[in-house]
Amino acid sequence: MIEAEKHHAVVLKFGSSVLRSEDDLPSAVHEIYRAWRDGAQVIVVVSALGDATDQLLRRASRICEQPEPAALAALLATGEATTVALLGLALDRAGIPTRILDPAQAGLRTRGDRLDAELVAVDLERLRAELQQGVVVLPGFVGRGEHGETTLLGRGGSDFTAVFLAQRLGARCILFKNVDGLYTADPAAVSWGQPRRFARATWETAKRVGGGIIQPKALDFAAAHRFSFIIAAPWATVWTEIGAGPDEYATERTPAMPVRIALLGCGTVGGGVYSRLAALAGQFEVIGVSVRNRERALSVGVPEGLIVQDPEALIDKPCDVVVELMGGLEPAATLVERALRARRHVVTANKALIAAKGEHLIALAAENGVRLAYSAAVGGALPALEAVARARAAGPIRSLSGVLNGTTNFILDQLASGMSWDEAVRAAQEEGYAEADPSLDLDGTDAAQKIVLLARAAFGVNLSLDEIEREGITRIDAAEIARARAEGKMIRLVASCERTADGVNARVRPQHLPQSHPLASTAGIENRLLIEPEAGAPLLIAGKGAGRWPTTESVLADLFDIRWAAQQVSSNEEVEECIA
């Protein structure tokens, strides 16, 4: 994981070599989510998918041998616009708040040749405002001329856009390519020997040996402004920094082996996690899937040979990580303990388990030198635990409050639209937001379990569910919602905890919030968390808190973190062996 989290903002560029088709969009989402989860403000610059630009050029030439520049620029810009829209949809599916901007909205102004223009300005105020709302996605390669006309930045122009934006914003810049850095020669074109990878290279060296990997105009701009950036492949554990230098070759490493995964559970979330792991075969290897419902596992593409009936036997197989997505306290608690004692890392989305036994399991993981990761246990894609940890590191926290249960939020919205209680619950179940038995959502238990985890992260206390005052939404009907709206208020199930002179108090209850309240406008399955420190401005974060894909994204982020850490340990051991 490249350390975007240490920077206020990061610009991530995904070119056509890594976005070859729509099938590659989820991989870009994984990188974007990890940077956003780690607290960075994220701008994404994209190229057209695969050979889409070449296809558009061929279409143009079939119609007109020498296309007029204005018409050609307008046509080619549609390739980037399509990728932006598709990536926006993929981010929305993953539960990440996203803002899509076109070049005019971003104020990307150019001068010079309409098909090979130079960027000269950007609306920084607009960009910074949009970054407060979510991830910003922009097309590369495209700008607006002096009179508002569509202009292009030449081949590879999305490199230029990314470097330009990052330099103007004072942000980190990462150009994702289909190679893991800059080499002395193209690794794919060398028939003998092994080109050397640079750990660092000057702008001049990159221009000399880059072989078309980086647009020359982007390099010239970076050199003129003494701006450094990174070239990396998706899921990078190595990369090259392009900057002032001096040139430095990387220490050769043994290629990272796939992380071996034992998956317990293949329901709504488990099925999503399996499908993504199967698509990431170079990074992860699923060694088995333990399920109660064999047919359900087969329906999401799990091969017959990977299905295991005995979860304990699966944990005992050689593996690196056990992913527990069964839910409930038992047998999940027994299986997670077994995995930790066997020195397996564990990733889980099981809020009930972590709320009831988290203190014990965290200690057990530390005792055995492994990680227990549970980001997905609070709020799906909402990076709640990470945001609280960062806030606590910056200073004492006074209180937390949030809409942490997407199911109840969805049901309240359906009631407001005129549905009956039974219809609203059934709609939540049909959408995959509510279980067959939704009682833990409706009575506030689910939100209470999450506030236990957040109180532990914020205040270092271990509350029990019995200590939390809870009231669900079962007594709320459409008439009450209508009365609240007539008074300019919204009803939301709010979970909160605060530090007092007597300790930490926590509660879950429906609240009639004025429409100006930051939690009031939470819609559908969106979750929001308001963190109020003892000193400084409050922090509000948002993201989809229920459903297959938001929770899958959070589980995958934990797995990528474990993969990153394992590779760093392996690399350090190799260096120590060389020194010895």
pLDDT digits (tens, 9 = 90+) for 373-407: 999 999 889 999 999 999 999 999 999 999 999 88
Could you tell me which residues come within 8 angstroms of residue 144 by beta carbon, excluding any fewer than 6 positions away? Answer: 103, 104, 108, 109, 110, 150, 151
Q: 51: buried, middle or exposed (CB in 10 Å: 19+, 13-18, 0-12)? A: middle
Q: Which of 108, 287, 297, 87 is nearest to 176 (CA)?
A: 87
d(CA 277, CA 320): 14
Q: The domain at 259-379+550-579 falls in which architecture?
A: 3-Layer(aba) Sandwich (3.40)
- In the structure encoding, which two tokens stand for residue 279, read together? 């698509």
Q: 3-class DSSP state for residue 191?
A: coil
Q: Which of 278, 246, 238 is nearest to 261 (CA)?
A: 278
Instruction: Return the closest-CA partner of residue 566 out of 303, 215, 77, 237.
Output: 237
Name residue 96's amino acid.
Answer: I
Q: What is the pLDDT of residues 457-515, one digit of tens each?
A: 999 999 989 889 999 999 998 889 889 989 999 999 999 999 988 889 999 999 999 99
> Looking at the predicted structure, is the pLDDT value of residue 165 above 70?
yes
Query: Quick one: pLDDT at residue 193?
Result: 65
Least-confidence region, from 204-208, 248-252, 536-540, 561-565: 248-252
Query: SS3 for 445-468, per residue?
Result: HHHHHHHHHHHHHHHCCCCCHHHC
Q: What is the pLDDT of residue 460?
A: 92
Distance CA 198, CA 249 (A): 4
Q: Of the listed 357, 450, 489, 544, which one is catalytic?
A: 450
pLDDT (0 to 100) of residue 302: 94
Q: For 312-350, write each residue's pLDDT tens digit.
A: 999 999 999 999 999 889 999 999 999 999 999 999 999
| pLDDT confidence band for 2 (50 / 70 / 90) | very low
The encoded tokens of residue 477 equal 């009907």
- Which pLDDT score is estimated for 254? 67
DSSP 256: P
Q: Averaged over 282-301, what is the pLDDT?
A: 91
Query: 240, 241, 248, 250: which is closest to 180 by C-alpha?
Result: 240
Are 4-176 and 259-379+550-579 equal in CATH topology?
Answer: no
Q: How far apart are CA 207 and CA 214, in angstroms?
A: 8
CB 176 within 8 A of CB 15: yes
Q: Where are the alpha helices (DSSP H) in 300-350?
A: 311-316, 332-341
Q: Among candidates 209, 213, 205, which has minimal Cα distance to 243? A: 205
The ranges assigned to domains in the chain are 4-176, 259-379+550-579, 384-546
* pLDDT band, residue 569 (cuts 50/70/90): low
- Does residue 548 register a pLDDT over 80? yes
The pairing of strands 248-249 and 198-202 is antiparallel
Phi, psi at 426, each rounded to 5°: -65, -40
E strand or H helix that includes residue 264: strand 259-264
- CB neighbour list of residue 241: distance below 8 Å, 6 or more residues apart: 199, 200, 201, 228, 229, 230
Q: Which of 142, 144, 173, 170 is nearest to 158 (CA)?
A: 142
Read off the pLDDT of residues 177-225 as tens digits, 9 standing for 90 and up. 998 899 988 776 665 667 889 999 999 999 998 778 899 999 999 999 9
324 bridge partner residues: 264, 348
Mean pLDDT, all residues of the chain: 90
384-546: which CATH number, 3.30.360.10, 3.40.50.300, 3.40.1080.10, 3.40.50.620?
3.30.360.10
Picking from 294, 319, 320, 318, the residue whose alpha carbon sits closest to that of residue 307 is: 294
The CB density around residue 458, as the number of other CB atoms within 10 Å, is 25
- Is residue 293 scored above 90 in pLDDT? no
Tokens of 25: 């969009």
Q: How far apart are the first and last CA of the chain?
A: 28
pLDDT-derived band at 305 (thresholds 50, 70, 90) equals very high
Distance in angstroms (rounded) separating the CA atoms of residues 371 and 362: 8
Residue 23 pLDDT > 80: yes
Question: Measuring CA to CA, which residue among 15, 49, 21 is closest to residue 175?
Answer: 15
450 included as an active-site residue:
yes
Strand ranges across the sheet with 142-144: 118-121, 109-111, 142-144, 150-152
Read off the tokens for 309.
């009936």
65: Cα separation from own chain's centroid: 44
CATH of domain 4-176: 3.40.1160.10
